[in-house]
Amino acid sequence: MSDKPISPLRQRMIDDMTARRFSEKVQKAYDRHVRTFAAFLDRSPDTATSEDLRRFQLHMAQQQIGPGSSNAAIAALRFFFTVTLERLGLVRPLTTVNKPRRAPVVLSQEEAARLLEAAPGLKYRAALSVAYGAGLRVSEVVKALSIGIECAGHNPGGNEEATAVVADTIGRAVVHIMVTPVDMVKPHSSLLT
């Protein structure tokens, strides 16, 4: 972790993490969170009480630490107290913080109709309708199309080149239509070349 002398307690935690094959990044993060907790306490973290942990979690909330960072600190402290110190009952008051869920942006019926009308042909409109109706993201459509193109080479009895060209063309049309703002979508003849 660093060149500074390591306390026996910190070395034990590092050994516990190494034995569980934690990545170096996770080990550094856990070490940092436990040191932050020790600084909050202004004493060794192995002397902490359940009330100290509750106050630390309240302190993180008052400092407006984000849910991801708070939950990472809680995971580090749970590991430290349950595995390294074997003090299972101490971490019971620690609770994870729920991340607020964002509602997805959904097109209005008019916007969806304009988007579908902008498709350069029936097969493109069908591909776009399926992708939009299934709630696929652009990256998911691209991945599905790339898998389709890869599978085209394993199409016994079919015209493999034609399948790959159609999949590629649909892919370019769908990606163009899905990434362009709705009011700017127009059929694009270059997608067909």
Instruction: State residue 193's pLDDT score.
Output: 40
Distance CA 188, CA 48 (A): 66
Name which residue leads in pLDDT, 102 or 39.
39
Stretch 104-113: mean pLDDT: 76
pLDDT beyond 90 at 100: no
Whole-structure pTM value: 0.55
Q: Which residue has the higher pLDDT, 173 or 126?
A: 126
Best-predicted range by mean pLDDT among 48-57, 117-126, 145-154, 174-183?
Answer: 48-57
Q: pLDDT tens-digit profile of 30-87?
A: 999 999 999 999 999 999 999 999 999 999 999 999 999 999 999 999 999 999 998 8
Residue 136: per-residue pLDDT:
72
Q: Higher confidence at residue 89 or residue 138?
A: 89
Lowest-confidence segment of 93-102, 112-121, 142-151 by average pLDDT:
142-151
- Tens digits of residue pLDDT in 143-170: 666 655 454 445 555 555 544 555 555 5
Helix axes 8-19, 24-41, angle to 10 degrees: 150
- Long-range contacts at 93-99 (CB < 8 A, ≥ 24 apart): 93/50, 93/53, 93/54, 93/57, 94/53, 94/57, 95/57, 96/70, 96/71, 97/61, 97/67, 97/70, 97/71, 98/67, 99/67, 99/68
Q: Report the distance separating Cα 89 and Cα 160, nearest Å.
A: 63
